[in-house]
A = this chain, B = another copy of it.
């Protein structure tokens, strides 16, 4: 890894970049954006999807990159929507998820941040447990209006402190510790 090399977040989702940038800023790491849709494989393993996507992103841009894969995993429906969270959000959306669930509403949000440069490929995980709300609350993107983290009564969309407790925060914190100690 080259000292102080510029770091790029590759994604088609500007919301993810905005969050990642704010979080990495707090660790003193500067992040730039490469808006790009990357090919993803179908797999039940979020790590397999993440690893191949990161290799693809590095092959495309030949710069040190970060990609993120995340998913909402609802226990009572076998981890649905899991690795296909984006597609499920685009089709059935939050209302669909709410119609689907009955009593058991335990869920977890998982984030895998993958770093790739010309010598290193490494994944960093973050997770937060919680449950699915009975209705949408707050204004936020993705599943934020229906996810209530453990120890909270508010959804991610209602919380001011999401950036400090989220799955994405924990994954980026793990990445930052490693990145800063290797510079």
Identify the A interface with B (CB < 8 A).
Answer: 39-42, 44, 49, 77-84, 87-88, 90-92, 96, 99-100, 102
**Contact status B91-A80, CB under 8 Å:** yes
Sample 6 A-B pairs with CB under 8 A, ordered by A number.
Answer: A39-B41, A39-B42, A41-B42, A77-B96, A81-B91, A100-B100
| C-alpha spacing A17/B91, complex, angstroms | 29
Which residues of the partner chain B approach A96 to less than 8 Å between Cβ atoms?
A: 77, 80, 100
Shortest CB-to-CB span from A121 to chain B, Å, is 19
CB distance from A76 to the nearest CB of B (A): 9
Least CB distance from A51 to B in Å reads 13
* CB–CB B99/A78 < 8 A: no
Q: CA separation between A148 and B87, bound complex, in Å? A: 25
Q: Quick one: closest B residue to A81, CB to CB?
A: B91
For A42, list chain B residues within 8 Å (CB). 39-42, 49, 84, 87
User: How far, in whole Å, are A88 and B80 apart by their CA atoms in the complex?
Assistant: 7
Complex: chain B residue closest to A102, CB-CB: B99
The docked-state distance in angstroms from the alpha carbon of A92 to that of B76 is 9
Q: What would 11 more interface pairs be, CB under 8 Å, given A80-B87, A99-B99?
A: A40-B42, A41-B41, A41-B42, A42-B42, A77-B92, A80-B91, A80-B92, A82-B91, A84-B84, A92-B100, A99-B100
Q: How far is the CA of A81 from the CA of B81 in the complex (A)?
A: 11
Chain B residues, Cβ within 8 Å of A90: 78
The smallest C-beta distance from A169 to any residue of chain B, in angstroms, reads 26
CB distance from A152 to the nearest CB of B (A): 26
Q: Which residues of B contact A39 (CB under 8 A)?
A: 41-42
Q: In the complex, what residues of B have CB within 8 A of residue A44's CB?
A: 87
